[in-house]
Structure 1
Amino acid sequence: MSDSWKTTLPCTRAEAEAIDAGAIEIDAVLMTTEMVEDDVEQWRLDAYTDDEPDAAMIAAIRALAPSAAAIEPTVEKLTDADWVAMSQAGLEPIREGRFIVHTQAHPVEPGPGERAFLIDAGQAFGTGHHGTTSGCLAMLDRLADQRFDNIIDLGTGTGLLAFAARHLWPEARVTATDIDPVAIEVTRENAALNGVERVDLIVADGARAPAISEAAPCDLIIANILAGPLIAMAPEIAAIAAPHATIVLAGLLANQADKVIAAYRAAGCTLEQSETRGDWTILRLTAAEVPVTHLNSDDTGRENWARDI
């Protein structure tokens, strides 16, 4: 095992949640930890890297925790340590309805009717331990009695929500997309680890890619992203929705929910349920009876490809 490095800075809860929910372009595994229970100011950011962090890496890590601008980061060499395993050490298994999500460091034996997924911390968001992802799992579990035939998970991250959908609706077509090719490869690897089959994978920015348009209309759309992209994508998501489709949205802070809801109402959608977990909100909406005209799939500004697992 080669040496690895840990860089540590204090941060606030708001900064930690932004790190956990965001698409962070940094060559490090990031872990945030609550240092004092219910104290929003006392959190910690640990960044694990293969090599000793240079000035550019330190600056990138600092940028994630502006509240620690006056504090020197602690840089520690981890001799003969597996930094991925260390980043998972605090990730206890979670349970949401029939689903259990765990890491290799915390194996579980599912009980009758339960479905366990092994999702290790790594280069893509969506281990199930963040309130947005676990909230989506709970929302999907409650929809289990409904029938869906064509499901898409936009911004799939680790693939977890697409895997849950495949389990709940085994006869449906399931598509998972992400803007990041690394996330799609992570999803492919996680599918193999968990014995998940028949999920179409697409690298795409938003929902305009030809492969997505060709798969539409979808009767269940899941998008666990961030408030800004969710608002911008409202017309795109409405365009790929079947009449009365169910839309599950997450990745938005509670104080951003009204703006997201307004954007989807403008696209013809109706709010059915809103659930708050900590500072985060998960929304369930119904698409319009008359679908929005599909967007032109000849958008050359959005690169995409699709393969099947």
Structure 2
Amino acid sequence: MSADSWKLTLPCTRAEAEAIDAGAIAIDAVLMTTETVEDDVEKWRLDAYSEAKPDAAMIAAIRALVPSAAGIAPRIEPLTDADWVAMSQQGLEPIREGRFLVHTDAHPVAALPGERAFLINAGQAFGTGHHATTSGCLAMLDRLAGRGFTNAIDLGTGTGLLAFAARHLWPGARVTATDIDPVAIDVTRENAALNRVDGIELVVADGARDPVITAAGPYDLILANILAGPLIAMAPEIAAIAAPHATIVLAGLLATQAEAVQAAYRATGCTVAEAETRGDWTILRLTAAEQAFAGPIPDVTGRENWARDI
């Protein structure tokens, strides 16, 4: 019996997973990264799904993405009479955070009264809601529901989930979703149509310095679920686009990194309003200063690996 498709699997680290830019890799395969041990940044897995059996060139190209797997033989297996897209959704059980329900095609579930359901499949962008950072941000937004935000931005939007949640909570607000990766913006656009979410402005942008972003500011709600390093480096530019006393939600940082992130934002005049720890991860809610930060904004390179919603 012939194989309908093939799967190649190698171990990887979280850093390697987040560095993969699926839109810029010339590999005839769909790449999927998965956290295999919860909150262990060293225990991730890369799966490459292809219609043809991986040849030496494809194996070498995939190996180059995960240097930590050097010396480990890839597992290559045929997928006979199997829907590998559905397989990739296995294990992603529906989650509920406040009024939000997030599920995949593989695990459909009906929303309860008062819930807003989002269908978010795993794919070429991060942010299905199943990681503690993204689910923590959903819970944080749910607690902010009574606030009157009018101009929100989701930096590093990934799948668009947090932007969709903001649109649901504040239907009259302007909501912008940005990502440095054009693939993520395409995924967000597709997810918006799938979930009947409209009115979100989509921008391919490097951080918060893009003229389109600054021209639409200041923002009274800023969401950034990325990584501790970029959050620290971007503190001045995020503070610069914040309206007086704006709410800033930061995630993607380990609990051990929380103090360094807080210190970076205190230096711009922000204050810490709330810090929630989920496992090894911390979600921060900050309040911006009365006046927008006007200090120097560093020109930090290497952002192509930053804008990854977890």
Deviation track 1:238-285 (CA, whole Å, cap 9, x = no partner) reads 010000000000111222212211111111111111111222111110
- 1:193-252 per-residue CA deviation (whole Å, 9 max, x = no partner) reads 101010001000001111101110000000011111111111110010000000000111
How far residue 63 of structure 1 moved from its aligned partner, in angstroms, is 5.9
Q: What is the aligned partner in structure 1 of residue 150 from structure 2?
A: 149
The residue that corresponds to 2:20 in the other structure is 24
User: Could you tell me whether the CA contact under 8 Å between 2:208 and 2:214 is conserved in 1?
Assistant: yes
TM-aligned CA deviation for residue 143 of structure 1: 0.6
Gapped regions of structure 2 (runs ≥ 5): 298-302, 304-310
Q: TM-score, normalized by length of structure 2?
A: 0.85
| Aligned residue in 2 for 1:48 | 48
Partner of 2:218: 217
Aligned to 1:207, what secondary structure does the other structure show?
A: coil
Count of aligned positions: 291
Offset from partner CA, 1:60-108 (integer Å, 9 cap, x none)? 6556666654431211122343322111011110111110000011111
Aligned to 2:204: 203
In 2, Cα distance between equivalents of 1:223 and 1:187: 15
Instruction: Pick which of 278-287 and 198-207 moved more.
Output: 278-287
Residues 62-101 of structure 1 correspond to what in structure 2 (within 5 A)?
Answer: 62=63, 68-101=69-102
Q: What amino acid does structure 1 have at the position aligned with 2:32?
A: L
Check 1:41–1:254 CA distance in 2 against 1; reply closer, same or farther (3 A cut). closer
SS in 1 for 2:128: coil
Mapped to 2, the partners of 1:154 and 1:72 lie a distance apart of 37
The structure with higher relative contact order (CA 8 Å, sep 6+) is 2
After TM superposition, the runs of 4+ consecutive aligned structure 1 residues lying more than 6 A away are none
Post-superposition Cα deviations, 1:27-66, rounded to whole Å, max 9, x if no partner, equal 533243547xx89699562403224334465456556666
SS in 2 for 1:162: helix
Which secondary structure state, in structure 1, belongs to the residue aligned with residue 208 of structure 2?
coil
Alignment CA distance shift 1:246-1:23 (3 Å): farther
Secondary structure of 1:125's partner?
coil
On the 8 A contact 1:234/1:263 being kept in 2, the answer is yes
Distance 1:263 1:229 in 2: 11
Are the aligned partners of 1:94 and 1:129 in contact in 2 as well (CA < 8 Å)? yes
Distance 2:280 2:58 in 1: 29
Secondary structure of 2:118's partner?
Answer: strand
Would the alpha carbon gap of residues 72 and 163 (structure 1) be closer, same or farther in structure 2, given more than 3 Å must change? same
* Aligned residue number for residue 287 of structure 1: 288
2:39–2:279 CA contact under 8 A, matched in 1: no
State the distance in 1 between where 2:95 and 2:58 align: 32
The equivalent of 1:271 in structure 2 is 272
What amino acid is the match of 1:194? N
Q: Given that residues 29 and 84 in structure 1 are in contact (C-alpha distance below 8 angstroms), is that contact kept between their aligned partners in structure 2? A: no
Change (3 A) 1:77 1:177: same
CA 1:258–1:41 in 2, change beyond 3 Å: closer, same or farther? closer
> 1:124 Cα deviation (Å)?
0.4
Is the partner of 1:293 in helix, strand or coil? coil
CA distance in 2, matches of 1:7, 1:58: 8
C-alpha separation in 1, matches of 2:178 and 2:206 = 9
Give CA deviations for 1:127-152 in whole Å, capped at 9, x if unaligned: 00111111110110111111101000
Residue 184 of structure 1: how far off its partner (Å) = 0.6
What SS class does the counterpart of residue 127 from structure 1 fall into?
coil
d(CA) in 2 for partners of 1:172, 1:245: 14
If the length of structure 1 is used for normalisation, what is the TM-score?
Answer: 0.85
CA contact (8 A) 2:236 2:295 kept: no
Within a 5 Å distance, the mapping from 1:239-250 to structure 2 comes to 239-250=240-251
Matching of residue 191 in structure 1 with residue 170 in structure 2: no
The 3-state SS of whatever aligns with 2:275 is strand
* 8 Å contact kept, 1:159–1:190: yes
Structure 1: tracts of 5 or more residues without a match: 297-301, 303-309
Q: What's the secondary structure of 2:203's corresponding residue?
A: strand
